[in-house]
Amino acid sequence: MNFRSCTVLRVLLSLPVVGLLFSSVCAWGIETQPIIVVFRYDDYSAKSPTEFERKLFASFQRVRACVSVGVIPFVCESDSHDPKPQKLLPLPEEKIELLKKATREGHVEVALHGYSHQTLSAIRHAEFEGHSYQELLRRIMEGKQSLEQAVGEKVQVFIPPWNRYNLRQSGH
């Protein structure tokens, strides 16, 4: 089973707020359409908590649901909010194997979540603002190729760190 063949679950979550919302909508007589919920887990990297991620992926597998995992292929060693040059840490083999397994089982979609997730400015956090078009393209393509080679699957989703990216098209 792959990510695209996962069944969309139409189950009310056990959270009281969600249950209250659905109860209110039904009580008002509003016709409801199926609601699709996208689960996203960001900052999967050499520094993220592997044991937590192992349990998270197992939970999604158990309920036959999918999660999009924002992976940082070369996370900065220290603080991502510090724009000073830092050593970059590639994904260790243990993290790659965990992603491969979860992707093969169909409950994880791998997404590129930046190159290093390091900001260029201490004031406005963004990894993909302020570079030339050529540098942005290089970082995205290198990160994408690295992830695809590591997990053996096409990476088709890009999640820019801090949800910020460069709209300027200069140099292209």
Q: What angle do CA 82, 84, 86 make, to 5 degrees?
A: 95
Reference 68, options 89, 35, 37, 29; nearest CA is 37
Query: Cα separation of 110 and 85, whole Å?
Result: 27
Of 166 and 61, more confident: 61
The pLDDT of residue 166:
63
Reference 109, options 72, 143, 66; nearest CA is 66
Task: Name which of 3-7, 53-57, 95-99 the model is least confident about.
Answer: 3-7
Averaged pLDDT, 27-52: 84
- Band of pLDDT at residue 7, cut at 50, 70 and 90: very low
The pLDDT of residue 47:
97
The pLDDT of residue 29:
55
The pLDDT of residue 30:
59
The pLDDT of residue 75:
94
Of 69 and 85, more confident: 69
Residue 1 has pLDDT above 70, yes or no: no
The pLDDT of residue 12:
30
The pLDDT of residue 118:
81
State residue 32 phi and psi, 5-degree precision. -110, 145
Q: Which domains does the chain have, with CATH numbers?
A: 38-163 (3.20.20.370)
pTM for the model stands at 0.76
Percentage of residues in the chain with pLDDT exceeding 70?
Answer: 77
